[in-house]
Amino acid sequence: MSMRILARGAAAALAAGTLAVLGLSAPTAQAAPQTTSAPQTTGASQTYVAMGDSYSAGSGILPLDPAASLLCVRSTANYPHVLAARTGMALTDVTCGGAQTKDYAGSQYPGVAPQLNALGANTGLVTMTIGGNDNSTFIDAILACGSAGVATLGFGHPCKSLYGSTFTDQVDTGTYQAVKSALAAVRAKAPNARVAILGYPWIVPAAAVPGCFARLPIASGDVPYLRDLQTHLNAAVKRAAGETGATYVDVSGVSDGHDACQPVGTRWIEPILFGTNFVPVHPNALGESRLADRTAAVLGLG
């Protein structure tokens, strides 16, 4: 079998496997109704509502939250649970893997309520990561660059050559405004809340790391290309936060050196292959705990 055939087969397996694990296709069966980890009260006490996508949900980390739809792949080790346990806040967790900004106002899956429904006048704190799934920008880039990297056996920058500014253009034309609108909707539903939105921790290092291609099959020249895309996405999230009065939790500094190319015990993000989570390219338990640390520090929580 030629190297070209091997590369083509590996690329197809990578794409199919990643899509299957991330659960990005629409569900064919109706999900069980979603319940929150701790329903909000109607009294004077304020609650903490966690919203957002799989980086907030801790998708891929066991144990799963029994209060959530299985389609959300929510973990009880996610940063909202860690933060709530550390501060003693009453948590309502409506995070859901695969969430886009449109799922704030609409039902993401059958039986899963719009995330905005969890908010109210008694909401005191809201946290989230959101935007990475809008336009499928993140997953499309990972799949495209992974497939291209396998096809060139890790050499060159095939993804950058093929796609150029496509992904960053999508962030500029769609994601930024969508995140801004989502934050405005949160503010309208929870006028008394402090709203914090986290940036995404680094998935790839600033430059290719020897030996990483076997676990994260991105061509060496495309590693900085993906890093730049993530820089662009986080900048759009930060801009949206600044224009809506939300607090931006910058995790770029603390997550540097903890990307998916690092060894177990150092990395916060699991690679595509040979990782410890059942959902790749997502934070592990250490990463979620460190995101909670950073959020607490920025917000001045205990």
Catalytic (active-site) positions: 54, 282
Distance CA 19, CA 22 (A): 5
Q: Which two tokens mark 221? A: 């020249």
**Contact between residue 216 and residue 260 where contact means Cβ atoms under 8 Å apart:** yes
**Of 95, 2, 16, nearest to 272 (Cα)?**
16
**99 vs 138: CA distance, rounded Å:** 12
Amino acid at residue number 178: A
Residue corresponding to tokens 């059958």 = 110
* 43 Cβ contact partners less than 8 Å away, ≥ 6 residues apart: 122
Backbone angles phi, psi at 248, to 5 degrees: -90, 125
The pair phi, psi for residue 214, each rounded to 5°, is -65, -25
How many whole angstroms separate alpha carbon 269 and alpha carbon 202? Answer: 8
